[in-house]
């Protein structure tokens, strides 16, 4: 089957063709997002000290930076219940700007800004439209969840960032795989084996694995994304072999892709995760570093495993995991701002990070300074329709673009239902936000007919689509501007404060 490819196979053309304009649009929107995230970044504080859970991670990051071992080893901080990578990010900013609000929030703003760039490029790739990519970038810029998360020294924004890096690499790997399949096809070698060709080493998948491992090194919940992206990668491999008429695509994937995919996207992230503990292994003062012979029996059954790894197992499983398992409502662990995952898609119970009154006056009374992590209603209240549309497009219409978005969203959401007794907070939904934005952007792209699907509908149909899309985008910007005082701790009167809190559950 040599010769030029026929129209029955996909050409290896990926993304929108307007590369220069695409990068200009990307960088302009990213710059605007950067301005919003860095503006007045040092406010609010708790009398110049960290707010909310910054009080845990900021001093831990400072200990990482100043302790000499790149590890949190000060017993005064109590049990360290999250891996070190997120605190390394915070420590970079503290190294640059000291132990100050700018220092402990700088890297959050950096990665929050880069997330806008990544989202634009991902959606531009999915939709093959610079316009739809720009829509996604604007929506993420004005999304209140990622905006607030980019302005505090917490961990979730770093995990969300690394997930987007991993997804970018996974999509690049899909393109590379199809380019190789296309080359084999036009060379007439596609039927040399019924299993299809071997695809060689896949550097982009290697990069995806590193990002996933680092994501797990921020928070353990990243393991669910590892599993989801492994399955997504295999689905891409099956689809690619089918697209280029491999005789046995499923068997080819099973025999030629499963083992290297598992090695790349399951084993390698685990090794990267372990590598993040190198400072822990090297330190003489690490928490639970030398537990073999103390809390860990020095028996012969596991003596072949080095004591350092057995001590790490004790630390991770017998201490950290048990801490999270026991952080339950039934054990009396209640928090006034906790929420359950069924409330997250619509942001029904947000998170109050900071609150203060005065000393300045607003309308004759003390001003209110409050900082909420809250989902913009114009976006988050559409979560359920977006999910339903996305699932229909994925499962019924076999639209791979929505499959990517739904897999990303659900892998960051559904696992939290496995233990509903556990104490949970809305900031766990930070990594869901970019995928909600991607879904909204793809839907607006469908309405606009950005991929040419509705070109036959004529000028009236396109005009209506433009009107719907621009009106919605305008409402998203207006909603962000309206919420801005309670996203930044800007002083407002009690009356305006009450107007900002639309639902009783927001109080």
Which pLDDT belongs to residue 5? 45
Beta carbons of 86 and 405 less than 8 angstroms apart = no
Which pLDDT belongs to residue 456? 53
- Model pLDDT for residues 126-162, shown as the tens digit of each residue: 999 999 999 999 999 999 999 999 999 999 999 999 9
* Continuous H helices in 357-432: 377-380, 383-395, 400-411
Which pLDDT belongs to residue 4? 46
- Model pLDDT for residues 172-213, shown as the tens digit of each residue: 999 999 999 999 999 999 999 999 999 889 999 999 999 999
Beta carbons of 51 and 222 less than 8 angstroms apart = no
Rounded CA-CA distance 406/395 in Å is 10
Hey, which residues does 373 pair with through a beta bridge?
A: 351
Hey, which residues does 351 pair with through a beta bridge?
A: 373
pLDDT along the chain (507 residues), means of 10: 57 89 97 97 93 93 89 68 94 97 98 98 96 97 98 97 98 95 92 92 96 97 97 96 94 95 96 96 88 82 86 91 87 89 96 87 82 96 97 96 98 96 95 98 90 60 89 97 95 90 90
CA 487 to chain centre: 20
Rounded CA-CA distance 110/183 in Å is 39
Which pLDDT belongs to residue 3? 46
- Model pLDDT for residues 307-328, shown as the tens digit of each residue: 899 999 999 998 898 888 888 8
pTM: 0.95
Rounded CA-CA distance 132/26 in Å is 11
Rounded CA-CA distance 122/120 in Å is 6
Which pLDDT belongs to residue 453? 54
Beta carbons of 73 and 283 less than 8 angstroms apart = yes
Angle at 329 between CA 324 and CA 332, to 5 degrees: 100
Which pLDDT belongs to residue 102? 97
CA 305 to chain centre: 34
Beta carbons of 141 and 422 less than 8 angstroms apart = no
């Amino acid at each position: 089957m040599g010769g030029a490819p026929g129209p029955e196979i996909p050409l290896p053309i990926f993304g929108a063709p307007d590369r220069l304009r695409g990068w200009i649009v990307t960088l302009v929107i990213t710059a605007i997002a950067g301005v919003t995230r860095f503006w007045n970044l040092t406010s609010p504080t708790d009398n110049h000290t960290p707010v909310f859970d910054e009080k845990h991670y900021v001093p831990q990051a400072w200990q990482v930076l100043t302790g000499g071992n790149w590890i949190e080893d000060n017993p005064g901080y109590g049990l360290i219940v999250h891996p070190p990578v997120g605190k390394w990010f915070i420590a970079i900013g503290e190294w640059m700007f000291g132990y100050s609000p700018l220092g402990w929030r700088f890297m959050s703003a950096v990665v929050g800004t880069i997330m806008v760039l990544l989202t634009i490029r991902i959606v531009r790739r999915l939709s093959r439209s610079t316009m739809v990519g720009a829509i996604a970038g604007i929506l993420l810029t004005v999304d209140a969840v990622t905006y607030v998360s980019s302005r505090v020294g917490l961990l979730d924004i770093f995990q969300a960032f690394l997930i987007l890096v991993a997804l970018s690499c996974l999509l690049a790997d899909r393109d590379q795989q199809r380019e190789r399949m296309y080359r084999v096809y036009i060379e007439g070698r596609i039927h040399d084996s019924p299993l299809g060709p071997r695809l060689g080493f896949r550097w982009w998948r290697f990069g995806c694995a590193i990002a996933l491992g680092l994501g797990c090194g921020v928070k353990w919940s990243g393991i669910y994304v590892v599993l989801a992206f492994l399955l997504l990668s295999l689905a891409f491999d099956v689809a690619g072999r089918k697209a280029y008429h491999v005789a046995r695509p499923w068997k080819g994937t099973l025999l030629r892709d499963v083992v290297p995919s598992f090695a790349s996207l399951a084993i390698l992230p685990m090794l990267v995760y372990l590598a993040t503990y190198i400072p822990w292994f090297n330190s003489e003062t690490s928490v639970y570093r030398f537990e073999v012979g103390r809390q860990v029996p020095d028996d012969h059954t596991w003596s072949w495993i080095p004591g350092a790894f057995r001590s790490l197992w004790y630390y991770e499983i017998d201490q950290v995991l048990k801490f999270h398992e026991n952080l339950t409502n039934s054990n009396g662990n209640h928090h006034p701002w906790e929420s359950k995952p069924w409330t997250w898609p619509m942001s029904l119970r947000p998170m109050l990070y900071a609150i203060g009154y005065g000393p300045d006056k607003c309308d004759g009374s003390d001003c209110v300074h409050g900082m909420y992590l809250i989902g913009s209603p114009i976006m988050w209240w559409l979560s359920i329709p977006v999910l339903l549309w996305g699932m229909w497009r994925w499962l019924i219409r076999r639209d791979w673009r929505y499959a990517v978005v739904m897999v990303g969203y659900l892998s960051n959401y559904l696992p939290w239902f496995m233990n509903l007794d556990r104490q949970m907070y809305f900031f766990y939904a930070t990594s869901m936000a970019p995928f909600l934005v991607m879904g909204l952007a793809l839907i607006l792209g469908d309405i606009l007919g950005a991929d040419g699907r509705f070109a036959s509908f004529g000028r009236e149909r396109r005009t209506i689509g433009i009107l719907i899309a621009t009106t919605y985008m305008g409402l998203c910007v207006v909603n962000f501007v309206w919420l801005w005082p309670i996203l930044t701790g800007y002083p407002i009167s009690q009356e305006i404060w009450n107007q900002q809190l639309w639902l009783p559950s927001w109080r």
